[in-house]
Amino acid sequence: MKKSAQDVFHFQGFRSPRYTQVPDEVFDELMPRLSGAELKVLLYIIRRTFGFKKERDNISLSQLLHGITTAEGTVLDRGTGLSKKTLLDTIKNLIEKNLIISERRRSEEKGNEPTTYHLNIIGEKKEGNTTPLGIKSTPRGGVKKTPSPRSKNYTAQETVLQETVINTVNGVVKGGEKSTLQQLPDLGEPPEKTEYVAQQILKELGDEQSQRFYHLVAAKIPEGVIRETLSEVRTDGARDPARLFTYKIQRYALVKQKR
């Protein structure tokens, strides 16, 4: 049977170096034991978690089926390509095999929310552990607070740096004067990757008025730094997380520029 033009897929090639960490066990132990469907779902969860320096992510059934498309129509990924029945059976199999862990989420405001999926990591705390990969957890004895710009522990140079950041935060959020962040070179990531990271920042902070700033951050700041900063903001428990995020990113940009 002759294939139609629509059925023919020709891959253009990989962009390098852009990687998602995949545990060695997937290749060394699991690959011959898993079905194609199971491997697809496992790799999708790895991409959505380890690929963005996180241990877990809120992944909906629709995303697993069809992928993610932004409100502007940009396709970020195309999901697993499985049918709904196959997908549900596959998720059940992966849970039964102890490969992944699912946590159902529900709130009074939204009702049922996307399920949180993550790999079953040896020694991982099963509930309440949201520390992203590569980020050190808070040491015992409480949350480590960032010293005040006026703290005696700060050197004169650090104090000037802090005050410079404070003086530029409002302008950056509102799209005001050209900031140090804007002067940094672009990372050169594809537009869909930049859009995805910006949407993840917006999802985390929920400040619609700062979307332009978040796109700027996604274009200029490495994704690992962004994830670490968001983690710090969550740990700090600030009243205005969006403002604290802006402050920390501006401080990073100033330090980067001075090097």
Question: Both tokens of residue 93?
Answer: 């199999």
Task: Give pLDDT, residue 57.
Answer: 80
Residues 160 and 85 in one domain: no
pLDDT (tens digit per residue) in 100-126: 988 877 777 766 677 778 888 876 655
Which range of 2-16, 31-45, 150-164, 174-188 scores highest in mean pLDDT? It is 31-45
Residues 39 and 90 in one domain: yes
Residues 112 and 160 in one domain: no
CA distance 233 to 127: 20
Q: Across the strands, what pairs with 112?
A: 106
pLDDT (tens digit per residue) in 172-229: 433 443 467 888 889 988 888 899 999 999 988 887 888 888 999 999 999 888 988 8
- In whole angstroms, how far apart are CA 33 and each of 30, 97, 102, 103, 157? 5, 11, 21, 25, 57
CA distance 100 to 94: 6
Say if 179 falls within a structural domain: yes
Kindly report which listed range (62-66, 159-163, 253-257) carries the lowest average pLDDT score.
159-163
Enclosing domain of residue 112: 24-119
Say if 7 falls within a structural domain: no
Kindly report which listed range (68-72, 111-115, 138-142, 230-234) carries the lowest average pLDDT score.
138-142
R_g (Cα) of the chain, nearest Å? 21
Residues 168 and 247 in one domain: yes
Q: Across the strands, what pairs with 116?
A: 58, 103
Residue 138 has pLDDT above 70, yes or no: no
The domain boundary residue, chosen from 96, 119, 142: 119
Residues 231 and 164 in one domain: yes
pTM as predicted: 0.48
* Contact in structure between 249 and 181 (CB atoms under 8 Å): yes
Q: Cβ–Cβ contacts within 10 Å for residue 88, how many?
A: 14
Say if 208 falls within a structural domain: yes
The domain boundary residue, chosen from 64, 91, 119: 119
Say if 162 falls within a structural domain: yes
Say if 151 falls within a structural domain: no
Say if 3 falls within a structural domain: no
Peptide bond into 23 cis (omega under 30): no
Q: What CATH number corresponds to the domain at position 37? A: 1.10.10.10
Say if 15 falls within a structural domain: no
* Contact in structure between 40 and 82 (CB atoms under 8 Å): yes
DSSP state of 182: H
Say if 19 falls within a structural domain: no
CA distance 162 to 14: 41
- Give the count of domains, the chain: 2
